[in-house]
Structure 1
Amino acid sequence: MTARWTSRLLCLLLVALVTMNTSELAARAAAPKSKRGKQGTTASTGPRNYRSKNFLIHTDMPPEEAEELLGRLERMLKLVTAYFGRPNRKIIECYVFKEPRKWAPGSVDPEGLASVLAGGGVTKTSGLTSGARFNMKSIVYAGADRGTPQHESIHAYCAQTFGRTGPTWYSEGMAEVGKYFRDGDDSVQIHPGVLKYLQTTPHKTLDDLVNSNEITGDSWQNYAWRWALCHMLGYNPNYSSRFKPLGMALLQKKRNVSFNRVYGPMAPEITFEYDFFLDHLVQGYRVDLCAWDWKTKFKQPLRARASVAKIEAGRGWQASRALVDAGSEYQFAASGTWKIARPPETADEKPQDQAEEEKADETPQSTTATKRRSTSRRTRSPRSKSPQREMDEVDGDGLEDGRGKLVGVIFNDYELSEPFELGVFGTFTAPMDGQLFLRCRDDWGVLAHNTGVLSVRLKPGDSPVPLKDPREDARAVRPAGK
């Protein structure tokens, strides 16, 4: 680039900066402070201006709603900037419409208004770029619902901070993830309509998500699939360490960086966990607690010595370390107790995983576990960030409704058997070859509240030294009169 062109580009950048800062200062000056320290126009009709540290909002929302929105946007942006590690250095300007048809003609960008009238929103970005340097200004146009302003504001932050928002699957997926960010809560908490759609619709494939020529603003249904992929990759410890660097590289448009290059060798594992996530999706689901164990080594249980696995009540399927053969019988004995949280009466989820229970009922021949009344004791949940819940302390037989029971499943070549019931003590017949995984049966959305660990011992059914019932040992050491 010649010195003349360099000088001209610098002048243009200076003019753009002065223009943007002047318009921002003018808007700030025209917005006297409200009682809460935010700024709002004193005009009696039309949209008002509200300002916080990082946002300037033009809206026809009532003052209390506008200030509540500012608070939500600031809290969200704090989490977003912490995730990306880049502070917000420029005011994010938003037009937020409660009754868009009542705005005066010509008072707002027609393309932005049209997007809102169509039921969505849009972020328009303009500016100058020169190689890795850029100076971008984004303006958000969004309806006043509880999700769109957050979604579009994340686009604005990325565009103004990185100069771009990345490929569609990442841009829209992360905007959806970001709008649901909550401090200290990694669980699924999404719009009920989105949840129902994902629960009842055949899965969109991984290849369709990351390798198709989809465009932004296509449909909320496509946004839902992008959210699912980004949420799973972002919170699953098997993939999260690569996901953030991938996102930063995509935002900075680094060469030779793509989803396939970063995750290509892991595609079978990602596909399995993506489908598993969608198959069990409920409000409260924790991807990190249900991540699949790909690292544990499995081997055949020895006849002379039992294999031992520690199974936590607060996690999904966990490796038993035992390889099993289809049609072979195995002994099991589960020592200890765990505590399971009672579902809240207002929860939308079913009190237990009925689908899994139905699958267990379909294969009664695979299990011959000894059935006994479980030991149950009520306590309270120790978790401080969520409402205190009543807890039931049970052994591996669980409660009468099936919650808290030790259950198993066989994994082989990215396929799962039907889950089957175990309990405290007994035998089971393996329904297929593969790796045995175990868990505490409970609704997938409440696992985070559960505590406790069972020690599960496994042996082949023909072992010369059979396993003992752990409850017999407990009774033998119990003091007299207890």
Structure 2
Amino acid sequence: MFSAHSRRGLRYNRTLAGALSWQNGRGMFEQNYHRSFRTLALFALALCSLGWLASCGPMPAPAVKKKPAPKKVAQKPAAKPAQASPKTANNNANDEPPSRPFLPQVPESDAPIKPRKAGTLSDLVKRGEATQNDLPELDDGKIAAAGIRKLTGKHLILYTDVPATVEEVQKLPQIFDLAVPELCKYFGVDPSKLEQWKLVGCLIEDKPRFQGCGLYNGDVPDFPNGFHKGSQFWLYNQPSDYYRRHLMIHEGVHAFMSHWLGGAGPPWYSEGMAELLGTHEWDGQQLKLGFNPPDKTQVPYWGRVKIVRDEYAAQRGMTLLDIFRYDGQAHLKNEAYGWCWAATSFLNQHPQTREAFLALKTDTQDRSIEFSRRLHEKLKPQWPEIAEDWQLYVMQLEYGYDVARAATVRKESVPLPAAGATVNVAADRAWQSTGFEVTAGKTYEISASGRYQLAREPKPWMAEPNGITIEYHQGQPLGILLAAVTSPAAAVNAISPLATPDIIGTSGRLTPRHNGTLYLSLNDSPSKLADNSGACTVQIREVMP
């Protein structure tokens, strides 16, 4: 629970170090794929044959680095009560940030990676054009007699037994029609090719009605929420207008990819893309797909952020490579949808992965593990950095997480000059490399000055390197200067040092426990970086202990 409420924010009842401490001497994720031992064993054996199953032996947990007590900072005048906080903590789960560590797993494989199948996006679209009018033969008279209404749009014929008094249901074909050109834009498909493309959908409250009139035949399996096959999809009515639309678009993405891209890829990509693009914003006139919701009130009953946070807190977190290994049974559990959304959202936005991730649209005919191996191979030179940023993403995930701005800013580093050095730290980015290497056991003095902006509305919040105490993030004043020493391999088999930084403020000393590059950051939520501006100036020099 939160220990104290300020006028403009929430203060966590932990220090930053304590919030990310090792607990119970555990240094690894507990893997729980929610399937039988026999199935897991067979799956592991298959992966081993590819040489792609990472080691799962436990690693010893490193000792927690003790942090100095945060400096006392003069309290800024409180804002007027009528003004809303631009930095108030988001509507996440009603608990503290997850505090369990995990270890990323890097696969080693000697097996050659199979090349992708030959073919272009244009070839796939031509194939889709030839079959875009293949719709099931249905008896509308029999369907109407069963008490099922027919709603028709340009790209969707929707049958439903949800009462006409639920006005939002009437708009679903219109919303789907708006989604189609957005899907074309994302995947690079010419929308003129889809002029005749239609799907048949069923929005169900009473399943037997649909079974008795030919809309739900024996070849449709039982499913908890939604299911797609060919030119049809089925989904159960949902408790919120948002989540009903989300499921419709989700199944529509499956249908679009299967028809126009020749397939939807392996489970993590197929379900992840449907979740990524199904997450939307609708204002009654305009539709935006791939929406990054700033708080949970805009996406009622969606819950993907909460799934990841809860799973991580329960020590069932996933690395990207864990998610890549999902099999066809993984999505019988709801947790897999949360992790696949998180993976695709991260890869779609991260500056080091976005280009390679977007290129996957031409490889979707391949549902095998080779699809993921090719992606990993393409990103292999940067993988330790990507894995470290994923680690921070999972540990700090919240609504509106700005992956691009929160991505660690790295650069080539050189030894710190004997005379020291001066660097600038931007307020609108998360961790930033100083470009200088420091040595384990030596002591460095870090001093900072300057003013920078941490919010724009309702008025600018100006801060200095000691931070401002009208709001806290991760137990420390907003905007306070943090420091950590890391290296490319530091997060491969341990928690990233960036997750357990030292508190510096306007002045402090740092004695690294290992060699590496010095990184600095101005403490703020990863969802609130876009309205920051300015920078502070930091001087670094070696001193006697």
Work out the CA distance in 2 between the residues paired with 1:243 and 1:325.
37
Q: Structure 1 counterpart of 2:463, which letter?
A: V
The answer to whether the 8 A contact 1:293-1:319 is kept is yes
1:231 paired with 2:307, answer no
Measured against aligned partners, the alpha-carbon deviations of 1:254-276 in whole angstroms (never above 9, x if no partner) come to 99963222322244333333222
Find the counterpart in structure 1 of residue 362 from structure 2: 249
Choose the corresponding residue for 1:85, options 188, 197, 215: 188
1:337 and 1:18, CA in 2 relative to 1: closer, same or farther beyond 3 A?
Answer: closer
> How far 1:399 moved relative to its partner?
0.7
The answer to whether the 8 A contact 2:422-2:537 is kept is no
Find the counterpart in structure 2 of residue 195 from structure 1: 305
The answer to whether the 8 A contact 2:413-2:517 is kept is yes
Find the counterpart in structure 2 of residue 411 from structure 1: 486
Bigger shift: 189-198 or 421-430?
A: 189-198
> How far 1:241 moved relative to its partner?
0.6
Choose the corresponding residue for 1:59, options 155, 160, 164: 160
Find the counterpart in structure 1 of residue 233 from structure 2: 140
The answer to whether the 8 A contact 2:258-2:264 is kept is yes
Structure showing the higher helix proportion among its residues: 1
1:69 paired with 2:172, answer yes
**Over alpha carbons, which structure has the higher Rg?**
1
SS in structure 2 opposite 1:288? helix
SS in structure 2 opposite 1:86? coil
TM-score with structure 2 setting the length: 0.61
Work out the CA distance in 2 between the residues paired with 1:404 and 1:203.
29
The answer to whether the 8 A contact 1:336-1:395 is kept is yes
1:460 paired with 2:535, answer no
The answer to whether the 8 A contact 1:155-1:171 is kept is yes
1:461 and 1:205, CA in 2 relative to 1: closer, same or farther beyond 3 A?
Answer: same
- Alignment gaps of 5+ in structure 1: 1-12, 31-40, 126-137, 342-379, 382-388, 464-482
Find the counterpart in structure 2 of residue 337 from structure 1: 451
> How far 1:188 moved relative to its partner?
5.4
Measured against aligned partners, the alpha-carbon deviations of 1:406-446 in whole angstroms (never above 9, x if no partner) come to 11222132333321211233433335432221112122322
Find the counterpart in structure 1 of residue 374 from structure 2: 261
Measured against aligned partners, the alpha-carbon deviations of 1:67-95 in whole angstroms (never above 9, x if no partner) come to 33334434443332211011451113211
> How far 1:327 moved relative to its partner?
3.3
Find the counterpart in structure 2 of residue 395 from structure 1: 464
| Alpha-carbon RMSD | 3.4
Choose the corresponding residue for 2:148, options 33, 36, 47: 47
Find the counterpart in structure 1 of residue 435 from structure 2: 321
Q: Structure 2 counterpart of 1:49, which letter?
A: K
Find the counterpart in structure 2 of residue 287 from structure 1: 403
Work out the CA distance in 2 between the residues paired with 1:250 and 1:333.
50
Please give the residue correspondences for 1:356-435 in structure 2 after superposition, counting only pairs within 5 Å.
Answer: 380-381=456-457, 389-400=458-469, 401=472, 402-412=477-487, 413-415=489-491, 416-417=496-497, 418-435=500-517
SS in structure 1 opposite 2:412? coil
Work out the CA distance in 2 between the residues paired with 1:91 and 1:227.
26
The answer to whether the 8 A contact 2:266-2:367 is kept is no
Work out the CA distance in 2 between the residues paired with 1:340 and 1:140.
46
SS in structure 2 opposite 1:163? coil
Work out the CA distance in 2 between the residues paired with 1:275 and 1:442.
17
The answer to whether the 8 A contact 1:50-1:58 is kept is yes
The alignment of Structure 1 onto Structure 2 pairs a total of residues equal to 373
> How far 1:57 moved relative to its partner?
1.5
The answer to whether the 8 A contact 1:162-1:252 is kept is yes
Percentage of pairs with the same residue: 23
SS in structure 1 opposite 2:265? coil
Q: Structure 2 counterpart of 1:331, which letter?
A: E
- Alignment gaps of 5+ in structure 2: 1-126, 282-287
